[in-house]
Amino acid sequence: MRHYELDDADVAVIVGSGPGGASLALRLARAGLDVVMLESGRWIDPEDFVDDERIAFAQLSWLEARQATGGWTLARDFPALPAWNGHAVGGTALLWTGLTPRFKDHEFRTRSSYGEIAGASLADWPIDPAELAPYYAESERAMGVSHREGRPPMPANTSYRVFANGAERVGYRHYATGPYATNVEPYDGRPGTIQDGFNSQGDRRRSKWTPLVSEIPKAIATERFELRPESHAVRITLDAAGRADGVEYLDRDGVLRRQRAALVAVAGNAIETPRLLLLSATTGHERGLGNASDHLGRHYMRHTTGVVYGQFPDEVHMYRGENMAGIVADESRHDPERGFAGGYYLETISQGLPSFTTFMEPGGWGADFTARVEGYTRTAASWICGEDLPQPGNRVTLSSTLVDRWGLPAPEVHYDDHPNDVAMREHAYGRVEAMFRAVGAERVWRAPAMPSGHNLGTARMSADPADGVVDPEGRVHGVPNLFVSDGSVFTTGAAANPTLTIMALSLRQGDRIVDARRRGER
Amino acid sequence: MTEDQPASPAPGATASTLLALARALYPHDRLPDGPYERAVALLAADAAASAELSALVAAGAAEAGAALGDPAAATAEARTAWLESHQGEPFFAFVRERICFHLYDDREVWQLLGYPGPSYALGGYLHRGFDELPWLPDPRVVESDEPLVELGPLDPSVASAASAASAASAAAASTGAEATA
Ligand SMILES: Cc1cc2nc3c(=O)[nH]c(=O)nc-3n(C[C@H](O)[C@H](O)[C@H](O)COP(=O)(O)OP(=O)(O)OC[C@H]3O[C@@H](n4cnc5c(N)ncnc54)[C@H](O)[C@@H]3O)c2cc1C
């Protein structure tokens, strides 16, 4: 692998090796830029992944101090774990399952489509959806998304069979096993899935797309890229002219280093990205970088979610096969007649016994609980993924009491449901219950949110610096060579799972950066 | 945790009280004592990591022991009632969470409840039934050719089927035959 010196001033420094950062890195390195990637977590070889929910959770997850506050159920159920993020090379994609719906056009224009909604900070994205379309297609190709461009669809596993039949019987039309970013057949040098489950444990087989098995090795092969794992960024520094000129980080021995930089891109996910920008406050940017108009950390979104379980007279064996290879799109429309704005997807979810008992009724116990545990092999489940509304008070701030292992203020994540979120969730719960009953469920029950896998909106994109943190290219307002390259930039969240859009935005951003360089801009 | 995992046992009286509480928290007639004993031993090891937790567990177990007489001999109802009256207290919260965590991570429990664990070494389920669900028809797997409604209500025929199903589901729920969590 190429090595760059700490005082090499002409490198692009990217913080975070998840889908956002890794896609940008590969784009820049292939275009001939020199890239140094700082990743807080370790390099873990896929062979060292462990198909055990508890062991893998400890191996792959971000377990630094965090605190959930507010009215959301996570503040009650999992106060120290508001979000489930990855902490290793490849980021949260090591945990992800791989559904990749695109945004709908109107979801880029929610203020115009939904109108004014009290309490919500709806805004239109300052970009044209048509411009993103080719980047969506390219992202699907990069991930090898199923049933696109001639690739085969994912076959139906047991969970999907229950889910799709239920959908059909309640009158839905738009159910399918994907789009899903795991190989059905060999693709891009990686094998097809053996339906072994354990998507969220890294995927030993490498059938699931992650940056660890795709963008990162490809970037290394360009000889224009250096990956530095166990390098935790703590501050972005600015020069006298107000441009980013370096990133300070703690290496694996806790030694503070500083990599000089020609440009900096932050892709630490929507909790760590605003934290780093807040921690980088300096003269002229007293409230943090990009925070002149007080939007940094605000408008935090995590999707309106919850799980419905159905128990059947016959066996399901949900643990068999891909963990989320099923989606219903009929309710993803915006249809105010249902009593709320925006839409939601219903998605299959399968859990091993340890996760099932943790999430199917957080805090539950007693004979009624164990009766449901006894029915584990006869259970199917569906996860709700709906658009939640941005609210300025839902925000990531620096804790005044908690610190992480590096001694830095921990993030506090505050979230209150908007009435629209509550109405949507109620509707979605009812629809899944109807689906499961339509195929003979003897019992259905609702469970609250699991720690958030989708984290969005804390460095929102806006054309006018007064309305957000980054411009339409993801460039931080007021710091011309500092970029944000993850879901933090989402102006609004849409119903879709976010990662395809995160990647598409990174590729587009990469092209803009390369074009600007070619024009001689720096 | 595996069955032969060594763990530090709690002292006698505490351990037998915790064992009785563990069974009352997560009662499975099919499970022998072994998994509960292992869960209690692992809980005790977790508590031993901090003086504060050790004291919490010792005090809580002593209180439960005193209230229940011989906890092992107390009726299931008495144990459940004691737990109910102590919900929300730190001792209950710690014991419930740790027992749930360890009990359902026990290989013997997995086996009795039908969870096989890892499948990679066996070739996954590709040729071992990932798609085996004989009690329902084969569903379509590819996306529908019909246009997806993005704005406004569904086609009336779909909407009426869907709302009829919802109403039926709501009626089933309101029979009260089932609790929802
Ligand atoms: C269980 C689960 C299932 C999911 N399923 C889906 C799905 O089906 N479809 C979908 O679209 N999305 C899914 N997601 C979400 C998906 O994983 C994320 O959207 C995606 O990984 C975000 O990419 P990212 O690059 O923005 O951030 P991440 O992937 O989180 O990467 C951020 C990286 O930055 C590193 N980092 C953070 N701070 C610092 C710092 N200060 N210095 C150095 N490094 C730092 C982190 O260690 C991490 O590696 C799922 C998530 C989970 C948890």
C-alpha–C-alpha distance, residues B165 and A49, integer Å: 43
Closest CA–CA distance from residue B129 to any residue of chain A (Å): 8
Residue A118 has pLDDT above 90, yes or no: yes
Encode pLDDT of A119-141 as tens digits. 999 999 999 999 999 999 999 99
CB of A78 closer than 8 Å to CB of A89: no
Mean pLDDT of chain B: 87
**Residue labelled with tokens 């700490």:** A6
**pLDDT at position B181, please?**
34
C-alpha A74, offset from chain centre: 17
Number of A/B CB contacts below 8 angstroms equals 229
pTM of the model: 0.96
Nearest in space to A37 (alpha carbons), one of A209, A212, A288: A212
Mean pLDDT of chain A: 98
**pLDDT at position B5, please?**
44
Q: Which residues pair with A88 in a beta bridge?
A: A42
- Across the interface, which of A195, A197, A434 has its CB nearest the CB of B165? A434
Nearest CA in chain B to A432: B166
Longest dimension (CA), chain A: 70
Encode pLDDT of A460-478 as tens digits. 999 999 999 999 999 999 9
The alpha carbon of A225 and the centre of ligand 1 are apart by a number of angstroms equal to: 21
**pLDDT at position B71, please?**
86
C-alpha–C-alpha distance, residues A160 and A314, integer Å: 15
State the complex-level ipTM: 0.95
C-alpha–C-alpha distance, residues A289 and A422, integer Å: 33
Nearest in space to B42 (alpha carbons), one of B68, B87, B4: B4
A70 part of a folded domain:
yes
**pLDDT at position B24, please?**
97
Which residue puts its alpha carbon closest to atom 39 of ligand 1?
A268
CA angle at A325 for the pair A320 and A326, rounded to the nearest 5°: 120
Residues flanking ligand 1, CB < 6 Å: A 15-21, 38-41, 84-87, 91-93, 95-100, 200, 232-233, 267-269, 272, 276, 324, 453-454, 486-487, 497-500, 502
Phi, psi of A282, rounded to the nearest 5 degrees? -155, 175
- Across the interface, which of B140, B143, B181 has its CB nearest the CB of A361? B181
Q: Which percentage of chain A shows pLDDT scores above 90?
A: 99
Query: Domain containing A327: what range?
Result: 12-518
CB of A170 closer than 8 Å to CB of B169: no
**pLDDT at position B169, please?**
64
What is the arithmetic mean of pLDDT over B158-172? 65
- Across the interface, which of A330, A363, A374 has its CB nearest the CB of B28? A374
**pLDDT at position B70, please?**
86
Residue B77 has pLDDT above 70, yes or no: yes
Atom of ligand 1 nearest to the CA of A454: 15
Nearest CA in chain A to B149: A333
Residue B43 has pLDDT above 80, yes or no: yes
Residue B1 has pLDDT above 90, yes or no: no
Q: Which percentage of chain B shows pLDDT scores above 90?
A: 74
- Of A11-25, B20-34, B142-156, B165-179, the poorest mean pLDDT is in B165-179
A222 part of a folded domain:
yes
Query: In A, which residues are within 8 Å of B171 by CB distance?
Result: none
| Assigned token pair, B71 | 């906890």
Determine how β-strand A395-403 pairs with β-strand A409-414: antiparallel
Residue A93 has pLDDT above 60, yes or no: yes
User: What is the dihedral angle through the alpha carbons of A125, A128, A130, A133, rounded to the nearest 10 degrees?
Assistant: -50
**pLDDT at position B72, please?**
84
A6 part of a folded domain:
no
CB of B172 closer than 8 Å to CB of A437: yes
Query: In A, which residues are within 8 Å of B100 by CB distance?
Result: 357-358, 365
**pLDDT at position A28, please?**
98
Give the number of residues written for chain A.
522
CB of A318 closer than 8 Å to CB of A351: yes
What is the arithmetic mean of pLDDT over B152-164? 73
Crossing angle between the packed helical segments B12-25 and B51-68, to the nearest 10 degrees: 80
* Sheet architecture: strand order including A35-38: A225-228, A35-38, A12-15, A263-266, A482-484
**pLDDT at position B3, please?**
45
A1 part of a folded domain:
no
Helix, strand or coil for residue A127? coil
Domain count, chain A: 1
**pLDDT at position A108, please?**
98
Q: Is A137 exposed, middle or buried (0-12, 13-18, 19+ CB in 10 A)?
A: middle
Taking each continuous run of H as one helix and of E as one strand, the counts in chain B are 7, 0
* CB neighbour list of residue A474: distance below 8 Å, 6 or more residues apart: A265, A461, A483, A484, A485, A489, A505, A509
**pLDDT at position B13, please?**
83
Query: In B, which residues are within 8 Å of A360 by CB distance?
Result: 181
CB of A162 closer than 8 Å to CB of B131: no
The answer to whether B135 contacts A195, with C-beta atoms less than 8 Å apart, is no
- Across the interface, which of B132, B150, B158 has its CB nearest the CB of A173? B158
Q: Could you tell me the pLDDT band of residue B154, with boundaries at 50, 70 and 90?
A: confident
The alpha carbon of A87 and the centre of ligand 1 are apart by a number of angstroms equal to: 9
Give the number of residues written for chain B.
181
Encode pLDDT of A173-229 as tens digits. 999 999 999 999 999 999 999 999 999 999 999 999 999 999 999 999 999 999 999
Taking each continuous run of H as one helix and of E as one strand, the counts in chain A are 12, 17
Q: Could you tell me the pLDDT band of residue B175, with boundaries at 50, 70 and 90?
A: very low
C-alpha A136, offset from chain centre: 16
Here the CATH number for the domain that contains residue A230 is 3.50.50.60
C-alpha–C-alpha distance, residues A264 and A335, integer Å: 41
Nearest CA in chain A to B180: A445
**Residue labelled with tokens 């001639």:** A150
| Assigned token pair, A520 | 């001689």
Encode pLDDT of A10-44 as tens digits. 999 999 999 999 999 999 999 999 999 999 999 99
Q: Could you tell me the pLDDT band of residue B178, with boundaries at 50, 70 and 90?
A: very low
Encode pLDDT of A256-267 as tens digits. 999 999 999 999
**pLDDT at position B179, please?**
38
Residue A495 has pLDDT above 80, yes or no: yes
**pLDDT at position B176, please?**
39
What is the arithmetic mean of pLDDT over A496-519? 97
